[in-house]
C-alpha cells in the first residue's frame, strides 16, 4: 500500500463454520487486527433481522486507531443455510483522516457497489482467492485516484481564491491573529471538527514527532480581518511532556469531549488545569467546552447536562457540535473569535 490515506482493504465473509472470516486483504494488516476488524464488522449487524445497510458505513476501530469504510453485501446461495451468503468490504484509514472520507463519501458509493457485485459473483462461483485480490486491488486504485483528484482540486481552489482570502494572507492585511488550542482525549473528534470548519480536508500542517496539527482560517468580523490559528493537540499520553509548550501564547481554548462517550468528559478538567498551570502569567483564558458527536449522542442527555455544569464551574462557555453533520461547527469557532475580538475593543 503506497497511499497513506488507505491503510488496507479487507474482505470478510460470514463462514457458517468459523463465523466472520478475514478471507482476503491488501496492505500490512496483522492477523490479530484482521480478526478484530472482521468480527466487529459482521457482529455489529446482530439483531437487525438479516437486514444490511445499502449505503456505505463508517465504523470505528479505536483500539487500532483506525476507521473503516464498509460496504456490506448479500447474495443468494442455495448451498448455505437460509440460502443467503453475507460479507463485507472494509477500507481502512487513520482516525485522523475521517473527515476526508465523510466529506467525499457519496463519491465512493458507485465504486464499492461495483466491487460488491463482482465479489458476490466470485463467492457464488467458488472462485480462487487470487481473483478476490485482483478485485480489491482495483478498488484500491480507484479510491486512491479519487483521493488524488480531490486533493488536487482542493489545492487548486485554495490557490484560486479571490480577494480578500488570497491577499489577506499577507500579514500586514490581517488585523487580528488568535491562537486557539484544541485539546481532548483521543477519538473525541478534534481533527474532524477542525477540518469540518476549515472545509479543506487535505490542506494542513502536520508535525508528527511532536503530535500537533496546525491549521488556519481567515474571515471577517465587522471591518476587521481575523486569522484563527488552530492547534490540534494530540491526546495520546506519549505526547504529554512535549505538548505543554504548545499551550504558550494561546488566546483561547476548546476542550473537546465525545457526547456518546461519557468517560471522555471526565478528562476535561485535567486538560483545563494542565493548560492553566502553563499559563499562570496571564489573565483567565477565553475558552469553551465542546460536546462533539451530537449526531450520535442525542440520547445521552445526562452527558449534556454534566458538560454544561462543568463549563459553568470552570467559567467556560459550552457548545454542542457534530463534525459529521456540521451542526454548530461554524458557530463554535466564530463565537470564540468574536469573544476574543470583543475583548480587545
Across all residues in the chain, what is the average pLDDT? 85
Write down the pLDDT at residue 298: 62
- Exposed e or buried b for every residue in 149-167, given b needs 16+ CB within 10 A? ebbeebeeeeeeeeeeeee
Does residue 195 or residue 309 have the better pLDDT? 309
The set of residues, in sequence order, having a beta carbon less than 8 Å from that of 331 and lying 6+ positions away, is 319
- CB-based contact 167:173 (threshold 8 Å): yes
Q: What is the pLDDT of residues 150-162, one digit of tens each?
A: 988 887 776 655 4
pTM of structure? 0.69
The pLDDT-based confidence of 164 (bands split at 50, 70, 90) is: very low
Helix (H) or strand (E) holding 298: none
Dist CA 110 CA 106 (whole Å): 8
- Which residue in 204, 97, 193, 96 sits closest to 158, CA to CA? 204
Q: What is the pLDDT of residues 258-277, one digit of tens each?
A: 998 888 999 999 999 888 88
Phi and psi torsions of 141, nearest 5°: -65, -40
- CB-based contact 266:258 (threshold 8 Å): no
Phi and psi torsions of 307, nearest 5°: -65, -45
Omega before 164 within 30 of 0, i.e. cis: yes
At 202 the three-state DSSP class reads coil
Q: What is the architecture, at CATH level 2, of domain 167-344? A: 3-Layer(aba) Sandwich (3.40)
Write down the pLDDT at residue 139: 96
Domain ranges, ordered by start, for the chain: 8-158, 167-344
Amino acid at each position: 500500500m503506497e497511499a497513506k490515506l488507505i491503510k488496507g482493504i479487507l474482505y470478510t465473509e460470514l463462514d457458517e463454520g468459523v463465523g466472520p472470516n478475514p478471507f482476503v486483504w491488501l496492505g500490512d494488516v496483522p492477523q490479530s487486527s484482521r480478526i478484530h476488524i472482521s468480527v466487529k464488522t459482521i457482529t455489529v449487524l446482530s439483531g437487525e433481522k438479516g437486514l444490511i445497510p445499502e449505503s456505505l458505513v463508517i465504523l470505528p476501530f479505536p483500539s487500532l486507531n483506525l476507521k473503516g469504510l464498509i460496504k456490506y453485501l448479500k447474495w443468494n446461495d442455495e448451498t448455505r443455510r437460509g440460502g443467503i451468503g453475507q460479507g463485507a468490504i472494509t477500507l481502512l484509514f487513520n482516525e485522523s483522516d475521517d473527515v476526508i472520507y465523510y466529506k467525499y463519501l457519496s463519491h465512493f458509493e458507485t465504486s464499492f457497489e461495483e466491487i460488491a457485485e463482482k465479489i458476490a459473483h466470485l463467492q457464488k462461483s467458488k472462485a480462487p482467492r487470487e481473483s478476490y485480490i485482483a478485485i480489491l486491488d482495483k478498488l484500491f486504485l480507484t479510491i486512491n485516484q479519487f483521493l488524488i483528484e480531490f486533493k488536487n482540486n482542493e489545492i487548486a481552489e485554495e490557490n484560486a481564491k479571490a480577494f480578500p482570502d488570497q491577499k489577506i494572507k499577507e500579514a500586514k492585511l490581517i488585523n487580528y491573529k488568535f491562537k486557539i488550542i484544541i485539546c481532548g482525549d483521543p477519538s473525541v473528534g478534534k481533527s474532524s471538527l477542525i477540518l469540518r470548519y476549515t472545509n479543506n480536508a487535505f490542506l494542513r500542517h502536520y508535525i508528527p514527532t511532536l503530535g500537533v496539527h496546525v491549521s488556519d482560517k481567515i474571515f471577517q468580523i465587522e471591518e476587521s480581518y481575523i486569522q484563527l490559528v488552530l492547534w490540534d493537540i494530540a491526546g495520546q499520553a506519549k505526547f504529554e511532556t512535549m505538548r505543554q509548550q504548545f499551550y504558550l501564547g494561546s488566546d483561547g481554548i476548546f476542550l473537546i469531549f465525545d457526547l456518546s462517550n461519557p468517560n471522555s468528559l471526565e478528562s476535561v478538567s485535567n486538560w483545563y488545569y494542565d493548560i492553566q498551570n502553563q499559563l499562570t502569567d496571564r489573565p483567565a483564558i477565553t475558552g469553551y467546552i465542546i460536546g462533539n458527536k451530537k449526531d450520535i449522542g442525542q440520547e445521552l442527555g445526562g452527558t449534556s447536562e454534566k458538560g454544561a455544569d462543568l463549563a459553568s464551574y470552570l467559567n467556560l462557555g459550552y457548545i454542542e457540535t457534530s463534525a459529521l453533520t456540521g451542526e454548530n461547527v461554524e458557530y463554535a469557532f466564530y463565537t470564540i473569535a468574536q469573544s476574543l475580538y470583543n475583548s480587545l475593543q
